Amino acid sequence: MGSLFRSEEMTLCQLFLQSEAAYACVSELGELGLVQFRDLNPDVNAFQRKFVNEVRRCDEMERKLRYLEKEIRKDGIPMLEIPGECPEAPQPREMIDLEATFEKLENELREVNQNAEALKRNYLELTELKHILRKTQVFFDEHEGGANITTESMTRALISDDPNNHMGQVQLGYRDKQESLEFLPCFVAGVILRERIPAFERMLWRACRGNVFLRQAEIDTPLEDPSSSDQVYKSVFIIFFQGDQLKTRVKKICEGFRATLYPCPEAPADRREMAMGVMTRIEDLNTVLGQTQDHRHRVLVAAAKNIRNWFVKVRKIKAIYHTLNLFNLDVTQKCLIAECWVPALDMETIQLALRRGTERSGSSVPPILNRMETLEDPPTYNRNNKFTIAFQNLIYAYGVATYREVNPAPYTIITFPFLFAVMFGDLGHGALMAIFGFWMCYKEKPLQAKKIDSEIWNIFFGGRYIILLMGLFSMYTGLIYNDIFSKSLNIFGSSWRNNYNISTLETNKLLQLNPDSWDYLQAPYPFGIDPVWQLAEANKIIFMNAYKMKISIIIGVFHMLFGVCMSLWNHLYFKRRISIYVEFIPQIIFLTVLFFYMVLLMFMKWTFYGATIDHFGSQEPDIVKSSGFCAPSILITFINMMLFKTDENPRTQCDPTMYPGQIGLQKFFVLVALVCVPVMLFGKPYFIMQERKKRALQGLQPLAENAENGTAGGAPVPTSHHQDEEISEVFIHQAIHTIEYVLGSISHTASYLRLWALSLAHAQLAEVAWNMLLRKGLKSAGYEGGVFLYVVFAGWAAISVSILVLMEGLSAFLHTLRLHWVEFQSKFYAGEGYLFQPFSFEVILDSAGQAEE
Amino acid sequence: MVCKLCGPKLSLCGLVLSVWGVIQLTLMGVFYHIRAVALLEDLPLEEGHHDIDHFIANVEYGYTTNAQNCWIAALLYLVTLVVSGHQFWMNNRSSVSM
């Protein structure tokens, strides 16, 4: 099992596969997911590769499957998820079977669909006709009842309107059966979309100058449009007019409005007969349609059972041929040559998989897996589980580790939630976050199976372990800060007592509790901040600021020192001995004598100065010197140290320094730090120059020779090695590096003050939320106050979650991320590697499934 | 059966809020009942006392009423919990049956 400390050791291997066995072997490797193949013919066009035909066939199959899937979705048939395991990649000869199956299914489905559409169109027409016959019957019935009146009024209108149309009367003889319908003009009947009726009517009126008579009736039931299968509402209309000219005009308009016209016999008997015919035909069609639907359904249900399986199979085949395209063909065409990166520890497993593949294909020649020497940088591969992967991704977001470099992820697992919690310290908010994180971890499997698409949810869910840990750590720091929704918990009993008498209490608005007296029990509160500070309105913030600022700097300096120490492991591993002497040692000295010394001063201040029991308020010189009155400012001391300056202490009773010899020691420290700078700046270039001179004297270049011998099989030789760089470039590089470190350690130390700043902001915001909302509810007197509290609490809870937990949490998260990326990782992490992306069916199927949705 | 009043999201929100409300307000009631000093600033006090006894009586009264108020609010949240829990159950059941 590989460790998380470094990435796995990788080997470049050459793989000789017999052509017949290649497919089965690659399929086994895909199941394993531990091999990254390299493209051996990068300059060959995608269309000129060997297996391009197979890939194309797979594409075609996938298209057919997608079509099937769409049809299945349309019918709302549930598609079975693969129970248990995925099917293995099928044999190449099975591909033909699959192709045939899909071809058959697709054709069948297309045919069924075509038939169904034709039938539906037919059905629609017949239904429309049925409606026309039924509705027009009503018109005609009305008509015959009051026939004379209507016609007369119509003819009169026609005559008075347009004298030219006098001929209209004559044209009544247009139809043969005119005897029976003497006064009826000609008519057309049809069906039109309901929303087009008003426009249609107006158009008819205008185009025919009012010489037509339109009757319409709505069809109550919606009809299905066969091409789009939408439900549409339509109306039946019937237009009466006279004359051929009008007839063509009316027909044109009908055409323009996409109305369908149907022949409608004039004689009632004919109509009845026709209606009967239509009814029987509709019934016949209904049975046929039902059968077609049944057939389609049967086909689709059968397909739905297998479709997921088929998708997996086809995608696997495609992936295999895609991989085979990356291989080189041997001269004899008998075997394929592949180059791949494999984790050194997994060679055995891979050999085993290859043997399995050969057996399956029935080939006799075993595949050969050859280690190759190379100077190329191997890919970075860290074995992660579901817990560590979230933290590893935070690191990868900055940059993938250089091969075999120290991986910051294992430390990030603790430092990340901790630094977050320092900024987010509140027991209540931490608990909310922890509960949310715990719920996501507890319900992991069902939530994962749900496959929720929302991006924000996926971010939260991916970081569920980070959220859980951040919540738990925040609860801890909340206890330390003694903050729960900006109130404090008095668990162990405060160490402060009120010793004022009643008259003093009655007359003063603000009173101070003196730590240099029995107001303070002289034994600290056992855990975290004393709860009484929550009530100290006058100096709570001042006290907390001093405490939190110091804590931030202490944490920051230790974090950075730890980062610098990590670089030692890198130097040792990469055998950069010079770097240890001229980089690591001066760096750690620089940081220690300046900033670690400052941290020591803080601890000194905390321990040296304070009240002496039994000598409260004493004016004896010894007591005064160790009292809080004489405690120096650490910041001023540090600034003076850097400037070689000594301020006159205005408090004459006190010592000028914290301990004897402080000034001299500090001067020495600063000088040592200053000496470190040129060592860092010129040390490495100097040694490189020395080495080059030595090599020039010996007159050989062993490095170049090695490269020639070691590179086999045409692996490109990388040209990156600092020995070959220009010496001026080495200088520039080193200068940048040094300046970055020296200035960086100052600015980075200051940067850790963000821990204090955000923590202060969070505490203050929480207090504002409490005071502005919940206090209003609590301060309302009487029993109705309870109801008011009920309402106010909801508002306060909403503000707490949205602003204090979500927004503040996000900002604290980002600041923590920055502290890790910039302040911590800049000390040792290059992040110049590239990720190991093994050929794995799992990954391919996952991404294909995601792209689908 | 009672009809559905709110959707799945609102009922879930009500559920979470009322669980939180019940827990926190009950605890706060307990803290007021035991006269926690940290909650002193949130009492409904009259302005301008000159008499310490009067002040103490006032504070005592404030603690008692606030404890009761907290418990009243907690009770109201208990009602909300029952209602939204029922709604949530209804929503879940209907979505399953669909």
pLDDT in tens, A325-362: 888 887 777 788 889 999 988 888 999 998 888 888 88
CA-based R_g, chain A, Å: 44
Give the per-residue pLDDT at A169: 41
Give the per-residue pLDDT at A2: 52
**φ, ψ dihedrals at A657, nearest 5°:** -125, 170
Taking CA–CA distances from A487, the nearest residue in chain B reads B38
Burial (CB count within 10 angstroms: exposed 0-12, middle 13-18, buried 19+), residue A7:
buried
Confirm or reject contact between B87 and chain A (CB < 8 A).
no
Nearest CA-CA distance, residue B17 and chain A, Å: 7
Cβ-based contacts of A452 with chain B (< 8 Å): none
The answer to whether the Cβ–Cβ distance between A775 and B42 falls below 8 Å is: yes
Nearest CA-CA distance, residue A492 and chain B, Å: 13
How much is the mean pLDDT over chain A?
85
* Distance (Å, whole) CA A119 – CA A729: 80
3-class DSSP state of A334: coil
Give the per-residue pLDDT at A761: 95
Cβ-based contacts of A779 with chain B (< 8 Å): 42-44
Give the per-residue pLDDT at A171: 40
Q: Where are the domains of chain A?
A: 10-106+302-371, 113-143+184-290, 387-491+527-697+726-827
> Any idea how long chain B is?
98
Whether A767 shows a pLDDT value over 90: the answer reads yes
Taking CA–CA distances from A789, the nearest residue in chain B reads B73
Confidence of residue A144 (pLDDT cuts 50, 70, 90): low
Between A488, A774, A779, which is nearest B44 by CB? A779
Q: Are A540 and A486 in contact (CB under 8 A)?
A: no
Confidence of residue A820 (pLDDT cuts 50, 70, 90): very high
The answer to whether the Cβ–Cβ distance between B41 and A488 falls below 8 Å is: no
Whether A88 shows a pLDDT value over 50: the answer reads yes
Confirm or reject contact between A176 and chain B (CB < 8 A).
no
Cβ-based contacts of A797 with chain B (< 8 Å): 17, 20-21
The answer to whether the Cβ–Cβ distance between B69 and A789 falls below 8 Å is: yes
> Any idea how long chain A is?
853
Q: What CATH class is the domain A113-143+184-290?
A: alpha beta
Please give the structure tokens belonging to residue A176: 């043969």
3-class DSSP state of A497: coil
Q: What is the dihedral of CA A92, A98, A103, A104, to 10 degrees?
A: 140
Nearest CA-CA distance, residue A770 and chain B, Å: 10
Confirm or reject contact between B88 and chain A (CB < 8 A).
no
Q: Of the given ranges (A202-211, A629-638, A809-818), which has the lowest mean pLDDT?
A: A202-211
Q: B58-97, pLDDT tens digit by residue?
A: 899 999 999 999 999 999 999 999 999 998 888 887 665 5
The answer to whether the Cβ–Cβ distance between B52 and A505 falls below 8 Å is: yes
Nearest CA-CA distance, residue B38 and chain A, Å: 6
Confirm or reject contact between B38 and chain A (CB < 8 A).
yes
Taking CA–CA distances from B32, the nearest residue in chain A reads A778
Instruction: Count the neighbouring beta carbons within 10 Å of the beta carbon of residue A452.
Output: 11
CB pairs under 8 A between A and B: 74
Cβ-based contacts of B70 with chain A (< 8 Å): 778, 786, 789
Cβ-based contacts of B77 with chain A (< 8 Å): 790, 793
Confirm or reject contact between A500 and chain B (CB < 8 A).
no
Between B38, B50, B69, which is nearest A487 by CB? B38
pTM of the model: 0.81
Please give the structure tokens belonging to residue B65: 């009423």
The answer to whether the Cβ–Cβ distance between A778 and B66 falls below 8 Å is: yes
The answer to whether the Cβ–Cβ distance between B44 and A786 falls below 8 Å is: no
The answer to whether the Cβ–Cβ distance between B65 and A797 falls below 8 Å is: no
Confidence of residue A167 (pLDDT cuts 50, 70, 90): very low
The answer to whether the Cβ–Cβ distance between A778 and B38 falls below 8 Å is: no
Confidence of residue A853 (pLDDT cuts 50, 70, 90): low
* Amino acid letter, A29: L
Q: A378-412, pLDDT tens digit by residue?
A: 999 988 888 999 999 999 999 999 998 999 999 99
Mean pLDDT score, A736-740: 93
Whether A173 shows a pLDDT value over 70: the answer reads no
Between B21, B37, B71, which is nearest A793 by CB? B21
Give the per-residue pLDDT at A152: 43
Cβ-based contacts of B43 with chain A (< 8 Å): 778-779
Give the per-residue pLDDT at A477: 96
Mean pLDDT score, A209-233: 80
Confidence of residue A185 (pLDDT cuts 50, 70, 90): low
Q: Where are the domains of chain B?
A: 12-43+50-96
Confirm or reject contact between A782 and chain B (CB < 8 A).
yes
Mean pLDDT score, A176-189: 56
Whether A432 shows a pLDDT value over 90: the answer reads yes
Q: Are A121 and A226 in contact (CB under 8 A)?
A: yes
Confidence of residue A84 (pLDDT cuts 50, 70, 90): low
* Distance (Å, whole) CA A730 – CA A737: 10
Taking CA–CA distances from B51, the nearest residue in chain A reads A506
Between A775, A779, A786, which is nearest B72 by CB? A786
* Distance (Å, whole) CA A568 – CA A562: 10
Give the per-residue pLDDT at A806: 94
The answer to whether the Cβ–Cβ distance between A778 and B21 falls below 8 Å is: no
Q: B25-69, pLDDT tens digit by residue?
A: 999 999 999 998 888 888 888 776 667 888 888 899 999 999 999
